[in-house]
A and B are shown apart, each in its own frame.
Chain A
Amino acid sequence: MKKAFAPLLVVVAIMFVVAPFLIANAPYESTMGLIQKIFYYHVPSWFAMYIAIGVCGVASAVYLFKGTLIADAYATAGAEVAVVFGLCGLITGPLWGRVAWGVWWQWDVRLTTALLLELIFVAYLMVRQFGGPGAEKLAAATAIFGTATAPFVYKSVDIWRTVHPNTNVIPTLKPSMGGPFAFSSLAFILLSTLLVTARVHLAKRQMMLDELYLAHEEES
């Protein structure tokens, strides 16, 4: 991953430059028109968040049962990236809702549970920040419960009749819209993966530095 990081970063940068052109060239949706194009950012943000949550959940379980420090670093990275992309989704969603529904926010099952998921991972970060010693385990438990909630958030639109479009939209996209959508999804997923690895790398460096400080103190 270390060697591939820089080239992949360039690839992602190019993808994010190209994506707006692809999206601009995609056909207008018949009823919503221009505002529908926010979909190419909104849905991929949530995809990126789900992936980050997956990383966080699995890494937390590994940390809890095996105690490997690097797993904990992956969990933190996953949670941080999940919060960032969740925020992207929570900002782009109301922008679309204002035009499509006439209001910024509706207390619909998907919107409520998505906000909840974001809150769980903000709580995760707060526990790590303010929990004091032993907070890593507490945070890991939070992440495991949060990850268990994520599939429910994803499926909520299919269980209830909600105002939010359901998961059927994506498989039934026209190819002329599906292409740009797949492209921007890939860009977002790649970006979130790179952010997680960069964050883990930083955590590794911090661990090394801590060890060096300890060794230095022992010597003097």
Chain B
Amino acid sequence: MFMRTAWLVLRKDFAIEVKSLEVLTTTLFFAISCVLIFAFAFVKNGQAPEDAAAGILWIAIAFSGTLALGRTFERERYGETLRALLLAPAPRPALYVGKLLGMLALLGVAELLLVPLIAFLFQAALFSRPLLLVGILGGGTIGFAAVGTLFAAMLVRARSRDVLLPILLYPITIPVIIGGVRGTAALLASPVDEPSAVMWIGILTAFDVVFVTLSLWTFEPLMTE
């Protein structure tokens, strides 16, 4: 029942998204714009500083992720469909898991584009340790999306939700972003600093466990009117 509900929510979001591709295209475009803006900010004499690629990657993920979160739930609010979902006789945490999986899929697609793009533009050796890279990207993205999905869902009912989402999301998820940036920077160091990368994956995993547990625990009372 639980996994089935989550799966149905995911499939519903997927079906809506495939029809218009609205959130995906805007998110990807915004992510690329972010990369360009930060590239202009950091590049000097045609050369970017060593660690800039790691920072730019995660800034692009965080900013475009916030945009995607806002857009996905704006759609739910517009059609009053979140209320319908909440009225359904289904376990509430399952709805959260479904939404979270959708968000992860979206951010995953964005990263599939961003990582090669940054590797290409900054001559960053991101693919030298693919498994560690996947671990860091996965760990960081899950932590960010877990908190983001919870707060975006809550904010559907709030006034001035566009402002409040980044205000709430960034301070809480900065530890995860720091973990992502430092972990990626460890991969870019020459020679590759494997022990630090593994340590950051551990820290990211710890944060993911805390954030997902807290979100599952609080989603039910938070979404009850």
Contact = CB atoms under 8 A, between A and B. Distances in A.
Instruction: Please say whether chains A and B are actual partners in one complex.
Output: yes
Interface of A: 64-65, 112-113, 116, 119-120, 123, 126-127, 130-135, 137-138, 140-142, 144-146, 148-149, 152
A137 B172 contact: no
Contacts of B160: 130-132
19 contacts: A112-B178, A116-B171, A116-B174, A116-B175, A126-B167, A130-B159, A131-B164, A134-B225, A137-B154, A138-B151, A138-B164, A138-B168, A141-B150, A141-B154, A141-B218, A141-B222, A145-B147, A148-B211, A149-B175
A134 B178 contact: no
B48 to A, nearest CB: 20
Interface string B66-98: 000000000000000000000000000000000
Contacts of B159: 130-133
Nearest to A119: B171
Contacts of A132: 158-160
A150 to B, nearest CB: 12
Given A116-B174, A123-B171, A145 B154 contact: no
Nearest to A113: B175
Contacts of B210: 148
B193 to A, nearest CB: 14
A124 to B, nearest CB: 9
B109 interface: no
A144 B175 contact: no
Contacts of B221: 64-65, 137
A152 B211 CA distance: 13
B155 interface: yes
Interface residues of B, number: 25
A141 B178 CA distance: 22
Contact of B172 (A113, A140, A146): A146
Residue among B155, B159, B168 facing the most chain A CB atoms (10 A cut-off): B168
Interface in B133-183: 147, 150-151, 154-155, 157-160, 163-164, 167-168, 171-172, 174-175, 178
B214 interface: yes
A145 B172 contact: yes
B158 A64 contact: no
Given A135-B158, A148-B214, A149-B175, A64 B222 contact: yes
A65 B225 CA distance: 12
Given A64-B221, A65-B221, A112-B178, A142 B168 contact: yes
A127 B218 contact: no
